[in-house]
Structures are given as C-alpha cells and as structure tokens.
Structure 1
C-alpha cells in the first residue's frame, strides 16, 4: 500500500485505500487518527445510508430532539421532520443551536443543517407554514438538488460527487464536533469540520467497498 503525503503531511492520499472490516476504504485523510477511528466505527444502516456502531465509545453522535413548531404540522414525518441539538459545531467554545431538517424531493428524503446562537428565538418565530426565519441564516448546509464535490479524483481522473439528496449526521470525538455527509447510493462518506457560513473543511473521504459477487 502506497501513501503519498502532500502539504507537509497534512494531506494524505492512500492510492490503494485503507480497508476496515466495516467495509470502507479511506481515500483521503487530513487527520489520520480521526479518519481511522471513524472508518472503524462506520456501519451501513437499513435504509442504505451510514451510521456509527453503537458500541464504539470513541464517537458520540448527537442526540437529536424533535422540534415543536407552531401552525398545522404535517400528518407524517417521513418527508417533513425538524430536529434540534445543542453542540459547539464550529468548535469555537460556544454552544450552537443546530437544526436538522428532512424534506423530500420526488418522494425521497434529504437533510439540511441550520445553525443559530444557543439562545436564538428562531423556533418561536418559525411555523410549519413559514420557515423563512430558519432559511434566513447564512450559517447552513442546504444542498438538496445540488452537488458537493469531493477534491480527490477517482480512477481515470473523474471526480467523486455527492449530489441531489443528502444524509447528514454530526458527532463529537475527543471534545470536537464533526459532520458526516453522504448521498445515494451512499458509496462516499465525507467527514468534515464546520467553518462557518456554508463552508466545511473536508478531513476524511471514505468509500464503501463493493459487495462481493455471490
């Protein structure tokens, strides 16, 4: 296995990938310890997306709580769901109110993230019929219908892309918060740190290994 180190060791490309029993190859690592431990903890979920092994004590996924909004709530939550959590997502020493929405595009769910100060009144201002206060924040990940380009080219020079529908999780490891991003068919997983605004710093790229032919 060949390791190629760029930018004084901050950017590590593993040309052959690094494989774990969980079935993921590490394609890029800016923080090797983080990426290795995340790779060991990743598991495929029943809906095809990814999560973390519940017995892995190194990684603490956020405990999302349902959001109660004014107005007439949808009868089902599969395509209309809001959840909240308090976490220092940008690691600046202050708690953030993080809201994750899950709405459907052509019948399939997609996640977005919105960030506010811990004491923000946004959940009192928004209603199911008017989510303008939520969407108004500049601090968000809102890509449904769009793309998220990975900076590592695959074989033949083509770039890997997350697109259209997004599954987002956040977790804390060693006292710091991170975000995981993936999209159908859930082949690639991005682990990133939130930088403010709509900016993320990609730290790890992982690729699900193909299922063996039987």
Structure 2
C-alpha cells in the first residue's frame, strides 16, 4: 500500500544522481537524508503530528504550508546554503538533491505517522507526485532567481521570485482543499494543472539547457524564440 509513496522520491533522486555530471551532489543528498532523520526525530519526541483538524480552509492551509512544505524546505536549504563553503553555483544546483532526499524520508513519515486510520489515494499517490513536481519546479526557479541577480533590471528578478512563491504555495492549497472535503474537482483540477506546468517546465528547461529566462517555460508548447 505504501510502495509508491516510499519509492517515488528516492527513485527520482537516484535518477538525478546517476545522470548528474558532478558527483559531489551525492554527499549533499546524504545530508538531506540525515537532516530528515533529525527533523523526524525532533517531531516524534517533541510534538504530536495528529491533531484535531479545523473545518475551515485557512487554519488547515497554514498547518500544511508551514508544517509540511515551506518551513522544512526553507530551514534545510537555507542552513545548507549559508553554512556550506562550496561555490555559489554548487549551492544553487544542490537545491534539488538536498530537498528531494529530505522529503524522500520526511514525506512518508508525515503521511504514515500523521494519519489516524485509513489512507487515501491522495496521500498514497497524488501527494508524492505533487511534492516531486514542487521540488523539481522550485529547484529550477532557484537557479533562475540567482541567475537573474547577475543581470540588469528588476523585471526578471520579480518574475522568478514570484514564480518560486507560487510553486511553494500551491501544493498546500491543493492538499487543504482535499483535506477539508471540497468537491473532488476543486483539488484534482489544480493538482493536474500543477503537474502539467511542472512537467512542461522540466521538459522545456532540458530541451534548451536552461537558456530560457522567462517563467513562461512552464507553459505547454513554449518555444525558445518566445522567451
């Protein structure tokens, strides 16, 4: 029952590490795994994952956003970014292996330990895909955010930072819509759109070797000539 939940992110991480030109990212992935183990241990000893949920959107959204996505991602990556003595380019490209390895441990732990009884299709199948798309798109945005700071003008900086914020904020909204029992289309349609845009961004970035500078690369059918 938990197979897909457990193997999706590790499989994506393994593919990334095997295909990576710089094998120095392997210790970064190990750092993410150790960070997740520490994070899970702290939550297990000092907090209770299960809670009495509210029926309204905002409290649940805040809980998912800060407890499962934004705070863990920010804490792990920012600590690595500011404590690491590696080059800036290496710290930037380490975003995906670090966070993917972290969530490969943290996400299954949170789903399995946080559910009181039965597990839904969303938790076992859709949520892992949602998080993989979030990590893929966010790491892509991080690379372009730092690249934009080497250019004149604020337009691209604002666009890429805004895109990064949207990418980090949407998954919690999708999960909250599912959690509070909104009609299935209210969370399934945004889930499908999010996955589609993430896949398009990944494929377009691979196709043009990260030469495109516009967040429009997340749109289907985006051409390099249209940047």
Q: TM-score, normalised by structure 2?
A: 0.28
Which protein has the bigger helix share?
2
Greater strand proportion:
1
